[in-house]
Chains A and B, each alone.
Chain A
Amino acid sequence: MADNVADSDLKQTPLHDLHTELGARMVPFAGYSMPVQYKSGIMAEHQHTRTKAGLFDVSHMGQALLTGPDHETTARALEALTPSNFVELGRGRQRYTVLLNEEGGIIDDLMVTRPVSEEDDGKLMLVVNAARKEVDYAHFRANLPENVELQVLEDRALIAVQGPEAVAAVAAHAPEAAELAFMSAAPMEFDGIACHIARAGYTGEDGVEMSVPAGAAEAIARALLADNRVEPVGLGARDSLRLEAGLCLYGHDIDETTSPVEGAITFCMQKRRREEGGFPGAERIQSELKDGPGRIRVGLALDGKAPAREGAEIALPDGPVVGTVTSGGFAPTVGAPIAMGYVPANHAATGTRLELIVRGRRLPATVADMPFVPNRYYRKPKS
């Protein structure tokens, strides 16, 4: 059962008082006191996000800026640490990437945005995982060239609004938000407050992530929650939503031992980088791209109703253990338990029958395509 730890060592986000006022159950998460759920509960919050709009406090995540003399220099500095193409990232465009260690393992996964304004050329904005920010920042500081600086943005909050009605709700206060294409971002005013808004998210739904001044976060959140389409959503539903979306949770589905190929996130590697290499662990990653990885992350659909959680062993039918579940639980939208985990590549094809071992019992499961719930990211109509 979740403990209500009132730990004075825990950091608070600028929305902490609002969470408690809204009746959130607060839990320790990545060094912060964070809402795991509000009064309506994880299931209702999950469904509300899929049908209307959920508001998530993601202020615990790290926001930082890389600044160099010009775009090419900053982009090359980031390319030296990641397998993605940043040189050709357009202004106002956002890209998902991973920081790699020398063995091609993943130090963290992060979002990178090139500012839309020409004046900001040479800057790249980063959003990193809360639990990894100190590791990431130390890694950047140790590895960036002298003319590229890391600046941690301490005085910002991050608010995500996700769901089919999310953009309409945000656009009522920041009309330009409606114009953003998926994976693009721009500075704009929300009720006169300067924010930076990106059309992206973690749920498989359309929506935005808004980087806002810490001091204005509560006013912005209250303005959004006053809209009856928007309800607050905690970490619990955030986790079930991202599991249905088939997205990795750092430290669970990917970590310093897994490569992007094993993690099935090679979409973060653009063609030029795959061919040229020049990123940490390139030898391993390029050979995995060519010959296939030994193990790979797959989706798993369970036959029965019992969920399989992280750590459950994956076995061949009536056979030996071949892998481990890295995320799993009940999927409210699917209405059944689902999981993700690593299996040998020769047992990874969709439709492969496997067993998940839960409390000593073998539960039949099938390798399933991800996402488990079709994503509904916004695609800008061609004009």
Chain B
Amino acid sequence: MTTYYSKDHEWISVDGDVATVGITAYAQEQLGDVVYVELPEAGKQLSQGDEAAVVESVKAASEVYAPIDGEVVAANNVLADEPAKVNEDPEGAAWFLKLKVGNADQLSELMDEAAYKAYVETL
């Protein structure tokens, strides 16, 4: 299982042909208290860069983008009732959605953990 990171602060963890997507610890820190999460329906086809979900903090709404093409196979509906989990465990239990990988080549455009850490340092 390999994890990649986008410049929009999504993480994507790939296991076979299924990828789990969430937002990074840095992203939740920037957002502050998460109060609402809007998730996609299973079966939805997403292209890289499409709006996959919306996360709302006390202050503002932010989009979560699909880091690669794929079909939504599951959404973490626990977040609908417990949005604060995004602040507590963003890179673990508070994943947003699972995608059936549509184009594995797009993963090479993303960062690995070291590169993402270096990227965050520049912000």
Which residues of chain A have a CB within 8 Å of any CB of chain B? Answer: 1-2, 4, 36-37, 41-43, 46, 236-237, 239-240, 305-307, 309, 329-330, 332, 337, 359
Find out whether the CB atom of B35 lies under 8 angstroms from the CB atom of A307: yes
Partner of A307, one of B27, B61, B62, B80: B61
Find out whether the CB atom of B61 lies under 8 angstroms from the CB atom of A43: no
Q: Tell me the complex Cα distance, A344–B83, Å.
A: 35
Find out whether the CB atom of B36 lies under 8 angstroms from the CB atom of A42: no
Q: Tell me the complex Cα distance, A1–B61, Å.
A: 8
Find out whether the CB atom of B31 lies under 8 angstroms from the CB atom of A1: yes
Find out whether the CB atom of B62 lies under 8 angstroms from the CB atom of A1: yes
Find out whether the CB atom of B33 lies under 8 angstroms from the CB atom of A305: no
Q: Is B60 an interface residue (CB 8 A)?
A: yes
Chain B interface mostly: mixed
**B interface bracket (residues with beta carbon within 8 Å of A):** 20 to 34
Partner of B32, one of A236, A307, A309: A236
Name the 8 nearest CB pairs between A and B, nearest first.
Answer: A330-B35, A43-B33, A42-B58, A1-B30, A305-B36, A41-B33, A306-B36, A41-B32
Q: A1-B31, A2-B30, A359-B54 are in contact. Are A236 and B59 (CB under 8 A)?
A: yes
Nearest Cβ in chain B — how far from A327, in angstroms? 12
Find out whether the CB atom of A309 lies under 8 angstroms from the CB atom of B36: no
Chain A interface mostly: mixed
Q: Is B71 an interface residue (CB 8 A)?
A: no
Q: Tell me the complex Cα distance, A1–B7, Å.
A: 13
Sample 28 A-B pairs with CB under 8 A, ordered by A number.
Answer: A1-B30, A1-B60, A1-B62, A2-B30, A2-B60, A4-B123, A36-B59, A37-B32, A41-B32, A41-B33, A42-B32, A42-B58, A43-B33, A43-B58, A236-B32, A240-B58, A305-B35, A305-B36, A305-B83, A307-B35, A307-B61, A309-B60, A309-B61, A330-B36, A330-B56, A332-B58, A337-B36, A359-B54
Q: Is B38 an interface residue (CB 8 A)?
A: yes
Which residues of the other chain, A, contact B35 by a CB distance below 8 angstroms?
305, 307, 330, 337
Which residues of the other chain, B, contact A36 by a CB distance below 8 angstroms?
59
Find out whether the CB atom of B58 lies under 8 angstroms from the CB atom of A330: yes
Q: Tell me the complex Cα distance, A37–B30, Å.
A: 11
Which residues of the other chain, B, contact A4 by a CB distance below 8 angstroms?
123
Which residues of the other chain, B, contact A236 by a CB distance below 8 angstroms?
32, 58-59
Which residues of the other chain, B, contact A330 by a CB distance below 8 angstroms?
35-36, 56, 58
Known interface pairs A236-B58, A307-B36, A330-B56; 9 further A-B residue pairs with C-beta atoms within 8 A, sorted by A's residue number: A4-B123, A42-B58, A46-B58, A240-B58, A305-B83, A307-B56, A329-B58, A329-B59, A332-B58
